[in-house]
Amino acid sequence: MNAIHEQTALDASLLPLAGKKGLITGIANDKSIAFAVAKAIRALGGEIAITYQNDKTAKYTQPLAEALDAKLFLKLDVAEPGSLEGVIEQCGKEFGQIDFAIHSMAFCNADDLHGRVIDTTEEGFDAAMNVSCHSFLRMAKALEPLMAHGGSLITMSYLGAERVVRNYGVMGIIKAALESAVRYMAYDLGPKGIRVFAVSPGPIMTRAASGIANFNALLEADAVKAPLGRTVTIEEVGALTAFLCTPGSSGMTGQTIYVDAGAHIVA
């Protein structure tokens, strides 16, 4: 190996996530928060497996997986029995061990999102809770044997978990449950060195956000009230999430961490 290649290899070995391996879910397109997370993790030297929901979405996500040099590109539909566990089994075969996992999945019927929470059907509530919250618990249980050395489990939340956000409906209740789950999971898994976090970004125009009525007005309102005088970018959310996978965050667990230019502190 010549000197240039030796230096490049040495530099790569010094990256915070060099040799670390993990699973990233929820990439829909290049505007997805999960895509920004994947880019940030790759920039820090991490190896990744990426999932797609179905054949229709695969045509959008496969080029992104290739650009990120993902080791695995796997179909994942958490509403399908055994799908999540099967994906994690394949990750175990490829990687041997898992150091981090990003849960960036949510679902809610439009009527339940925009309507009164007391009008939510049992079927709609169960579907939202299963995909958006319980799947994180299932992910942790399936990953636990592959994280015997510790690691980071990270999910995505929103301020609607803490206070009423118009047109966020029952999803606010689901996100509150998700943030509570993070605390209990951190308690249960802490003795094994597995750390658990919720990242709560400010409003960002993603495909999921486009389903929220009057979302542009929400963006403008947050920019006005935020101490930094703006909204945040997916790159900022990605960088913070990647940090939570590094040794630099080794003394942290159980938190909901806001990346919203400070908007959450202003009434």
Task: State residue 111 phi and psi, 5-degree precision.
Answer: -65, -35
Report yes or no: 252 and 246 within 8 Å, Cβ to Cβ. no
Active site residue 187: no
Per-residue DSSP letters for 73-128?
EEE--TTSTTHHHHHHHHHHHHHSS--EEEE------HHHHHS-GGG--HHHHHHH
Nearest to 123 by CA among 108, 138, 105, 104: 108
Report yes or no: 185 and 140 within 8 Å, Cβ to Cβ. yes
Active site residue 168: yes
Nearest to 46 by CA among 88, 4, 5, 102: 102
**Local structure of 213: helix, strand or coil:** coil
Annotated catalytic residue within 52, 60, 158, 187: 158
CA distance 94 to 115: 44
Annotated catalytic residue within 52, 168, 184, 258: 168
Active-site positions read 158, 168
